[in-house]
Each structure stands twice: as C-alpha cells, then as structure tokens.
Amino acid sequence: MTSLKTNKMKFLKLTIYIISAFFLIPSCTKDCCYDGNLTTPDEVLDAVGSNELTDTIFSAAISGTINSVNGKPIKNLTIILTDTLGRDFKFITDNEGKFERTKLLSGKYNLRFENLSLYKYSFDEYNTIIDDMTDIIIGAKIATKAEKIAYHIVNFDDGITTWDSFHFTRFRDGQDDLINHQPWRLISRSDYDNNNLKIQDNIEINVKENENFLSDILLIYVGDPTGYTL
C-alpha cells in the first residue's frame, strides 16, 4: 500500500513538472533558458518538488586538463565556469592538472581561472625576450607557435612586430605593467595543434545534455613560450 502511494506521488510530481514546462518553454528567452530547459536549480526543484529528476535535468558535465606549453600540469588552479546568467561554478585542478564538474545544465559557459600570481621578469630576462623578438622581426629567426602566442602583447596579428617589442621594452623600463595586458592566456590544445593561435583570457564552452565535454587547455604567460614561469 505504501509503495502504491509512493508511486502515485512520483507520477503526480512528474506530471506537474511536465505541465509546468509546457507553459514555461514557449515564453522562454535567451536570458532565462538553456536550450529550452529551466535554468535555475531553484526553479527546477520548485517545479519537481524533490531531487528525483535532478540527475536528468543537470546531466551535462565538463572535464579536462590544463598544462603549460611544455606539458607541465598546472595544479591547484581555481577554474571558474560562468553561465549565461552570470553565475559562477568553481573547482580546482588536481596535481595532474585535471578538473571535472558534473551536474551542470546544458548551455554555454565561459571558462577562466583565478589565483595566479604575477611573475616578475628580471632585467636580463626582459633583454633576452626583446632580443628574441628582434631576431623574429628582422627575419633572423622563425617564430614557433608558442612564441607567436607569448610575444603578442596587445593585439594578435599576422606576425610579431616592433609594436609588440616596444611594449616589452616599456615593461623592462618600468613604464608599464604586464598585468594590464592579460599576462596569463588560454588556448585550447586543438586550436594550438591546428595553428588557430587566437589566445584569450576565457574559453567559451557549449555543454550538452547527457554529455561530458572534454577540454585540453594550455596556459601561457606573456613572454614565456617555454612554460618556464609555470
């Protein structure tokens, strides 16, 4: 008898959820939906009345690794996923640079990071960077993919220019600060391997229902194509 009542209650809750979704979805906009799903956990749980359906609703996941360009894993890095409503979901990479976040709603997220100290180059290190860039500018050296990413300070263009070198000179002479030019940069491994060298301070990820989005990311410090500062 108790089992029959429990089954009836589950059926009733499921029916209420389906009816609620039927009325809510047609009026849904970008600001309130992820692919037709209710967006906030509170809204979903209010409609369901329990946690019985949350495994189905929050079925998207993201996992991956973050390494320096030389393959060194970035451990204890706080990763932040921000959804389209501006809500943050935080987690930390392990000793192998791996991370995972489950029970997400399907939709678009921006991945970024925090808790990175600003590396301070020595005067000699700046000179080495500027000399290296000069060789690339005059054609005495062909830039590697990592150098193309790490030596572009303000804008990413077709090649390393005297404008980029000028900014490193300003940093060396204390006239500017790397922190104003996003010193830590992200690029997906697939983009790096395919020579799509557009770096950014966040990566847009589109997670889907019942899927685990796998992401292999490289973290690069401005001026350091070898990953030494990490």
* 169 has a pLDDT exceeding 90: yes
* pLDDT averaged over every residue in the chain: 77
Which residues are CB-neighbours of 34 under 8 A, at least 6 positions away? Answer: 83, 84, 105, 106, 107, 108
pLDDT number for residue 94: 93
pLDDT number for residue 41: 46
- At 136, the pLDDT band (50, 70, 90 cuts) reads very high
Which phi and psi angles does 87 have, rounded to 5°?
A: -85, 140
Helix, strand, coil tally for the chain in percent (to 5):
35, 25, 40
Residue recorded with tokens 């100290």 = 117
DSSP letter, residue 73: B
Express each pLDDT in 72-104 by its tens digit: 998 998 988 888 888 888 889 999 999 988 888
Domain extent listing, the chain: 2-57
Note the Cα 169 to chain centre separation in Å.
30
Indicate the angle between helix axes 123-137 and 162-172, nearest 10 degrees.
Answer: 170
Which of the two residues, 143 and 214, has the higher pLDDT score? 143
**Residue 217, both tokens:** 């990311």
Residues 58 and 103: their CA atoms lie apart, in Å, by 4
Which phi and psi angles does 144 have, rounded to 5°?
A: -80, 170
Dihedral (C-alpha) 137, 229, 71, 212: value to the nearest 10 degrees?
A: -100
157, amino acid identity: D
Helical segments of the chain, H only: 2-24, 41-48, 54-57, 123-137, 145-150, 162-172, 189-193
Which of the two residues, 39 and 228, has the higher pLDDT score? 228
Residue recorded with tokens 């590697």 = 144
* 30 has a pLDDT exceeding 50: no
pLDDT number for residue 178: 84
Q: What is the average per-residue pLDDT within 205-227?
A: 85
Which of the two residues, 55 and 57, has the higher pLDDT score? 57
**Residue 100, both tokens:** 């995972």
DSSP letter, residue 178: G
Which of the two residues, 28 and 17, has the higher pLDDT score? 17
Dihedral (C-alpha) 222, 224, 228, 230: value to the nearest 10 degrees?
A: 20
Report for 26-35, 53-62, 148-157: range of highest mean pLDDT: 148-157
